[in-house]
Structure 1
Amino acid sequence: MRDLANRVRAEVETVVVGQSVLVEHLLAAAVVGGHVLLEGPPGTAKTLLANALARALDVEFRRVQFTPDMLPSDLTGTTALRGGELVFRPGPVFTNILLADEINRTPPKTQAALLEAMQERQVSIDGETHPLRAPFLVLATQNPIEYEGTYPLPEAQLDRFLFKLELGYLPESDEIAILRLAHRGVSPPSLDSVNAIVRPEELEAARQEVDATAVSDEVAAFVVALVRKTRELPSVELGASPRAAVHLLAAGRAFARLAGRDFVTPDDVVDAARPVLRHRLVLRPEAELERYTTEDAVGAALASVPVPR
């Protein structure tokens, strides 16, 4: 998987600057079957990144702009009468990589339709079940600044995302490099330079490789202790769930393979803790008033649980 990640990163970086760590996280999510919540200001190449990743993996990509008037059927599809027969017309969710742009701008009913598809890997319409494609990776974006007129995702739905990744502004040198790529006016860089370099069997082999990554009893106990500690913190109203522990270990396995190892170390778990846990914790009101963040809470949990050596 390490070689696969290096090749994918090199292809994506022909059009996207300064996001090598993010590319690795997205590839890890695709391999373990997780989904990703991306939070960052506009103009930080979220759409370009997702599209370039899809091209490198040689899979289909679709983008949906979520709006307040969007219906579940706009996403999942509808059944229409054609020639006297009912025919299913699949919606944009029937793809490999779906960019759900500004997911918090659509009502809860439509959010739930997407999140159900994420969990079940299928949609049911008019009593018929339609399986989704594999691999299926949802990248859902939120703007961390504009909350007016939005529908925040409830905690139970946030818990279904493997990672929450935060995109900030890049260093000055990277922004200068972006300008050197922008040679078509204000149009985004062409994706023609991104080649399809991954065969379907390579993704499946990476998935099997990650599943076979060894986990010691000490590392498994560390994962559980870390998740349980989040429930005991005085600043936290709702801690991480057992699903979070499953996701944390899956991410640790992927990170181990990205580092070229066939076993998980405690450091892999530590590296995965923030992106896996930061969106699953609910703080007490008094902690929020003191500008305490879930990032601080994850850090407190990491500091409180001894790391096995």
Structure 2
Amino acid sequence: MKPSLFSGAKPNAVIGGLLVGGLLAVVLVGYVWTPYDPIAIDLAHPLAPPSWKHWFGSDEFGRDVLSRAMLGARISVSIALGVVIAAVTVGTLIGATAGFLRGWVDRVIMSVNDAILAFPGMLLALALIAVLGSNRSSIILALSVAYLPSIVRVVRGAVMSIREREYVEASKVVGDSALYTMARHILPNALPPVVVLATSLFGWVVLSESALSFLGVGVPPPAPTWGNMLSAARPYMENASWLSVTPGVCIALTLLGVNLLGDALRDRLDPRRDA
């Protein structure tokens, strides 16, 4: 039987899996239930400290912080998944084309890719959102474009290495088409580094989306995100610390879980691991 990811797993794999699993569980629960309406205003209980009624306290408008953090998790995860799927799909197709065809196609693609890569990712995302407007679709598109060049470079490098292998040459000799050779022999063997990069990308997107929301150009209020919760908590840092602690801990635990899980995937998929 083939060993699973967690068979004989190191502590970082277990901890990462538990943290990411916990995040996904919160997201799923948040789709069907939250302790309170995340956007319902209760002016009778503003800035209520953590208690049995409000486990993580309430904000300046009396809204339950736990409920808002649960909805924020759903928004962050949906944006991160959208960006990862879009960037990995498009980046894999472009990188595989450049690495397999090489020549002038490779030069043109990589020139454009390097030009995009020259811009800081966050600055590029801010510029695109300024043009497209602040909404969930614009954020997904902007962050996908910002992170696309990294995927293209990784896939291109993997494909250029794999295309020189003996089984690829044998596929060409027997008359297989370039498309068949790419789909049957090259792309499956180029997936391991892409999977690891996609896992890390998920964490980067969560952090970037939080940063955009903190700056006021993310998902517009009243929808809660971890970033805009942190931004709204700034005036109350001294007398209502729970407002900033809750989203801050959520972001930190998510990044920790994703990074630990990414390390575990890298170790599992590394062909030199059992050497």
Q: TM-score range by the shorter chain?
A: under 0.3
TM-score, structure 2 as length reference: 0.22
Decide which structure has greater strand share. 1
TM-score, structure 1 as length reference: 0.20
Decide which structure has greater helix share. 2
